[in-house]
Chain A
Amino acid sequence: MEKLNQLLKDGVSRRTFLAGAGLSAGTAAVATLAAGCGGGSTVTATPGPTSAPTGITDVDILNFALNLEYLEAEFYQRAVYGSGLSSADIGTSPGAVTGGAQVSFSTPALAALAKEIANDELAHVRFLRKALGSAAVDRPAIDFTDAFAALGAAADAGTPGPLIPIPSPFNPFLGEAIFLVGAFTFEDVGVTAYHGAAPLLTNSGNLAAAAGILATEGYHAAILRTALVYLGDPYLSYANDISKVRAAASTTATAGSGAEVAVSGSTIVPADINSIAFDRTTDQVMRIVYLTPPPSPSVPVAKGGFFPNGLNGKITATTT
């Protein structure tokens, strides 16, 4: 984990990087102080989780994040470039990836935005793998074909029913507009996952890195939500049908909304009544990516949906 501060130092600007001139170390995110003990302060709003479960380390949390980054990166790489992550970026015993195909973009702006996010998510995979070093988990098995079909079916089957049914089977690789709906599935979840994880990290360098990725996911999520608003129906409604599925899978989240706010022209930002972004526990995130909302009574779940064999690492199954 000592590598991480060096990685942060080496995180030169993209512009400089692309120009091949990134030789000197920058100071992004290193000028932060170690987090110490609590200061006995009071906050009126409901506090989020502030300590990791016993036995869970920073490495476990960052590996949890790496699983999600593999998912996002594979999705965007396949959609934008037509092929997945290269063998150098997935570990020695990676799981297989099912589905995904190059999307035919006809709108140059959408193609450029998709490429930006694809490049960013690849950078996140590489950053986390380098930061974790030999502790990095391999890419888990990932499924897009059946998972998106199941997600679409769940969206259409929800109560009180979909705003506009998603054509069955849901396949976000069929075109640029439906691609945005597929991408929408992940980004807001990324924000809530990193937000939930940030206070659990004990090392200040790890915290700075997680906060930096959190902000990037926020930028991405806003790009998608803004594009969907301008695109309008049926795609906007499709996205909001998916938002409902995500909400159902995280019913114990803050504000009683399942950590979701439907996308509209006046609700670009999903946030609570204090205009603070939601957070999700690892259980809630797994319920979403495993496409397994908590039954009643709840039973733990360890795989499904986008991860047919579960996540890799220590955090792989829900606790309840």
Chain B
Amino acid sequence: MEAMENDLQTAEQNKSSRRAAILMGGAALAGLALARKAEAQYQGAALDLAVLNFALNLEYLEAQFYTLATQGKTIDQAGVTITGNNGATGGIAVTPGTVTTKNSNNYASCLVPFTTPLLQEYAMETAQEERNHVTFLQTAITNANSVAMPAIDLFNSFNTLAVAAGLGSSFDPFASETNFLLGAFIFEDVGVTAYHGAAGLLSNKTYLDKAAGIMAVEAYHAGSTRSRIYGLGASAQMASQAIATLRAAADGTKNDDVGVGTDATGAATVADVDSNALAFARTTEQVRAIVYATGLPQLPPGVTDPTKAVKNGANSGGFFPAGLNGPIF
């Protein structure tokens, strides 16, 4: 544990320089350029459809994580539809992917050994809410063109992130209550930023209203998860900081994602917000860079034209080994 904390401290010290390097690369501008590309590629109802299907992919991921943690089952085993609907518009992936977990996909082994009833209750609540989001989005998506669940990896992904965050060679989010909270921590703030970024893309005001409502629920989840991590003390807090640093690096922006801790004024940092106390937003590209555990397109040395950015990662990886389903933008 001491070794881990030393690693974390090193990661913390390296943070500012890494972020500075990313900034110098102008990746933030590249992010803006990509968002504009999305605008040109899809518009109006087609963009709405793409955004909602993008969100549905993330909800599949969250729902699987929490349902495995609380029931030792996948969401389809728990009665939730995971196939797609190739409705009026067509071109939608209908065959669901598989879910990779530890112990050769012995899903029962994912049941977290909860010892704190209040945490277990909350985990079950969250699992239900994320399943509801899956079902809601499937139902709400226009012309029944909802995507199937993509392949999801909840084993190799966490190990990759653990190494990248300096948390050790492996990480099993189902092994303990603390690990479960840190696993949840990875997803929830990303959910908030994803919906925040997506809200501005939606042209249909009813969809916007619903997206804002789901974002708020993700913020409640993130706030409760982070409160509990705060209560666990220094070790868990530092792990969350290492993860937040990794997210900030992966998305290529300088909206540096804040881990759980106490700042120089003695205030807690449970809300993941900027200096205006506004939650961050991420573009779909930035979100994918995190969930694929890759990174944003970077500008080659000496190049300032954002359209010349080069992608340093593939269109899949991390939690989504076969990529997301649906229109990629």
A residues less than 8 Å from B92 (CB atoms): none
Give chain B residues whose Cβ lies under 8 Å from the Cβ of A274: 132-133, 135-136
Question: Does A121 sit within 8 A of B, measured CB to CB?
Answer: yes
CB distance from A214 to the nearest CB of B (A): 6
Interface presence of A120 (CB below 8 A): yes
A277 touches B216 (CB 8 A): yes
Contact between chains at A36 and B44 (CB < 8 Å)? yes
A209 CA to B266 CA, complexed, in Å = 26
Q: Convert A15-26 into 0s and 1s, putting 1 for each residue whose CB lies closer than 8 angstroms to a CB of B.
A: 111110110101
**Chain A positions within 8 Å of B264 at CB level:** 18
| A29 touching B281, Cβ below 8 Å | yes
Q: How many angstroms from the CA of A113 to the CA of B223 in the assembled complex?
A: 11
B213 touches A31 (CB 8 A): no
Contact with B along A268-282 (1 / 0, CB 8 A): 111111111111000
Known A-B contacts A204-B200, A216-B271, A219-B273; the reply to A16 vs B219 at CB < 8 A is no
What are the interface flags for B242-283 relative to A under an 8 Å C-beta threshold, 1 for contact and 0 otherwise?
000000000001111110001111111111111111111101
Chain B residue with the shortest CB-CB distance to A229: B118
On whether the beta carbons of B136 and A213 are closer than 8 Å, the reply is no
Contact of A44 among B23, B139, B217 (CB under 8 A): B139
Q: Is A222 close to B, CB under 8 A?
A: yes
Residues of A within 8 A of B205 (CB): 35, 38, 50-51, 199
Q: Are A268 and B224 in contact (CB under 8 A)?
A: yes
Partner of B266, one of A44, A112, A126, A227: A112
In the bound complex, CA of A121 to CA of B136 (Å): 32
Partner of B220, one of A29, A32, A112, A222: A222
Q: Does B168 contact A (CB under 8 A)?
A: no
**Residues of A near any B CB (own CB < 8 A):** 7-8, 10-19, 21-22, 24, 26-45, 47-51, 109, 111-113, 115-121, 123-124, 126-127, 191, 195, 198-199, 204, 207-209, 211-223, 225-227, 229-230, 264-279
Q: Which B residues have a C-beta under 8 Å from some C-beta of A?
A: 16, 23, 28, 31-32, 35, 38-39, 44-45, 48, 117-118, 121-122, 124-126, 128-130, 132-133, 135-136, 139-140, 142, 192, 196-197, 199-210, 212-224, 226-228, 230-231, 253-258, 262-281, 283
A sample of 24 cross-chain residue pairs with beta-carbon separation below 8 angstroms, ordered by A number, consists of: A14-B273, A18-B264, A39-B44, A43-B207, A45-B210, A50-B205, A119-B267, A124-B276, A191-B216, A211-B196, A212-B196, A212-B274, A212-B278, A215-B278, A218-B222, A219-B270, A220-B271, A222-B224, A226-B227, A265-B122, A266-B122, A270-B220, A275-B133, A276-B213
